[in-house]
Structure 1
Amino acid sequence: MSIEEIVQTAEYPLADPSFLDRCKKALDSAGVLVLPDFITSSALEAMQNEATQGQSKAYFCKQSHSVYLTPENPLFGADHPANRQVVSSKGCICDDDVASESPLRALYDARLFRDFVKHVTGESALHPYADGLSSINIHYAERGQELGWHFDNSSFAITLLIQKPDAGSDFEYIKDLRNADAGEMNYDGVAALLDGKTKPKVLNMDPGTLVLFRGRNSIHRVSPNESDKTRMLAVLAYNSEPGIELSESARMTFYGRLS
């Protein structure tokens, strides 16, 4: 499929410099860029069919982790925000399970889309993962499954909602709750959130919505799915340098295999 068959280019002119500048300004200001109805109805239907057919191959896992995604810190107790555990549970199919003719792959590989992402994020280059599993993932959240509170290790993330459940699975976040580059972890602010004293923002989106999110300093989660309809979400991941692989331990944890 061509990029014009996948993206609503009349509404989202990816080659228009003024549109690119507006998107960059929005991401820089809010830490999140939400583009509703980014995908054409025919491409979205193809993505939904692909995700539904691939669900039986998904690797489902459940992990406990800290919001910082770091090992236990012996300097603090188990109840300290650095060590308090949250739960993430989901299914995932990997890049090598995404068909060569998939509109997801066509979008990921399209130079126009990569140039758009580069401009909006300020990256000088974008490269796929070298491990063959991590560039395009489709995530599944069935009833009760969730993505626990965490900060990302990467500077930005790109997601595309394919199917929305009937209840739950809300994307919640707080912008700039820490400053990782300065080493300021804001344990008090994290504790207030985990204790329910701080209310996060909720990002509402429908299928076909593309989201660029800066999650390195903005804590976020996806609340539990409260319906029998599976949440399906594509994650499009790039690197600023070529030849980067997701670590073997991370691949085994999230995918259950190395290749």
Structure 2
Amino acid sequence: MKPQAAAIEPESARRWLADAERTDLSALVDTARYPLHDFDDPQLQAEIGRVRADLEREGCAVLRGFLRPEALEQARTQGRELSPKSYYSSRRVNAWFTSDDESLPANDPRRIFMERTSGFVTRDLIPADAVIHQLYVAPVMKRLVAECLNEEAVYEYADPFAGLVQNVLPPGTQQPWHYDTNEYIVSMMTEAPDAGGEFQYCPNIRTPAGENYAGVGAVIREEDLFTPRTLALQPGDLQLFKGRYSLHRVTQVSGDRERHTAIFAYSQQPGVVGRLERTRQLYGRVSEAHIEAEKRREARADGLLD
């Protein structure tokens, strides 16, 4: 009796895993709008050109409707399943995450501390078949990000926790005004809250030449209500943001639903690992990779406070 041949799984039912050599994202991405299979396609090149222009002008750009509706629904369901794994931290911080300096005037922005409470699910807890994990490692995703940033290439973080994270903001929580420690961030909201949770930013309010404490202080003290911009994001939109120079925040979430956002951290060189103390603050733990990287850490070249 001949052994029965194994049934071939239909393409639609295949269980895709995160794979750094997988080049086909057509099951996840709206490739009619963003033809990632052909980077010479005029439509894709036009989108890349628009994103570059938006980043140059405002430090922020959005690829609307990046995910297919069915992939977005998967990502939303998976995000809800991941949410209980979140590590939450709550502390009062200033925009630079530095300690209080009593030698400064009381209204100096470095002495204005705001409540920050948020949760993160780290990469080591996100399954390989999760939609956001498949996107993060895909070479066409990295090429898209590199092209949009006008870089030769970008790389996944070597950091075992921070390369890919899901940010979770339950009702009543917020991310106050702050800067990012890296030049840019790529993110995608997968679950929108009932209300609140708006992304606001101040394009290039500081530069490598200086902190602009007067301008930053006016925003934080709510004396300047005109500089901050509010970006209307929808689940499934892909956002690129240069957060090292643009002060930004997520307003308080309200209603019954959490706000879930996938954060895809790439770097311009391989082997990047996050700062030891910042990692402990955000994720509640560090790894051997963080300890060893901290021993080799060099000072930031731009000389900014954080």
TM-score range, shorter chain: over 0.9
d(CA) in 2 for partners of 1:119, 1:73: 42
Question: How well do the aligned residues superpose, as a CA RMSD in angstroms?
Answer: 1.6
Report the AA paired with residue 187 of structure 2.
T
d(CA) in 1 for partners of 2:218, 2:47: 38
CA shift, 1:123, in A, is 2.7
CA shift, 1:213, in A, is 0.8
**Contact persistence 1:13–1:19 (CA under 8 A):** no
CA shift, 1:21, in A, is 2.2
d(CA) in 2 for partners of 1:221, 1:18: 30
**CA offsets 1:74-110 (integer angstroms, 9 cap, x no match):** 6524431123212211111000111111221111111
**CA offsets 1:159-179 (integer angstroms, 9 cap, x no match):** 100000111111111111111
d(CA) in 2 for partners of 1:125, 1:32: 19
Output the TM-score relative to the length of structure 2: 0.80
**CA offsets 1:205-231 (integer angstroms, 9 cap, x no match):** 111111101111111100000111100
Report the AA paired with residue 205 of structure 2.
L
d(CA) in 1 for partners of 2:151, 2:250: 27
d(CA) in 2 for partners of 1:247, 1:214: 19
1:216 partnered with 2:244: yes
**Equivalent residue number for residue 196 of structure 1:** 222
- For these two proteins, the number of residue pairs brought into alignment is 257
**Contact persistence 1:126–1:238 (CA under 8 A):** yes
**Equivalent residue number for residue 7 of structure 1:** 29
d(CA) in 1 for partners of 2:70, 2:34: 17
Question: Max radius of gyration: which structure?
Answer: 2
Report the AA paired with residue 239 of structure 1.
S
Task: State the secondary structure of the residue aligned to 2:75.
Answer: helix
d(CA) in 1 for partners of 2:57, 2:159: 33
Gaps of 5+ in 2: 1-15, 17-23, 288-306
**CA offsets 1:24-66 (integer angstroms, 9 cap, x no match):** 1222122111122110112111111111111111101112221
d(CA) in 2 for partners of 1:241, 1:252: 23
**Equivalent residue number for residue 94 of structure 1:** 122
CA shift, 1:115, in A, is 0.8
Instruction: Note closer, same or farther for the CA distance 1:19–1:35 as it changes in structure 2 (3 Å cut).
Output: closer
**Equivalent residue number for residue 152 of structure 2:** 124
Gaps of 5+ in 1: none
Task: State the secondary structure of the residue aligned to 2:27.
Answer: helix
Q: Which moved more, 1:184-193 or 1:162-171?
A: 184-193
Percentage of pairs with the same residue: 28
- Counterparts of residues 137-156 of structure 1 (less than 5 Å): 137-156=165-184
d(CA) in 1 for partners of 2:101, 2:147: 38
Report the AA paired with residue 155 of structure 1.
E
d(CA) in 2 for partners of 1:26, 1:188: 26
Output the TM-score relative to the length of structure 1: 0.93
Report the AA paired with residue 56 of structure 2.
D
Instruction: Note closer, same or farther for the CA distance 1:81–1:24 as it changes in structure 2 (3 Å cut).
Output: same
d(CA) in 1 for partners of 2:111, 2:127: 40
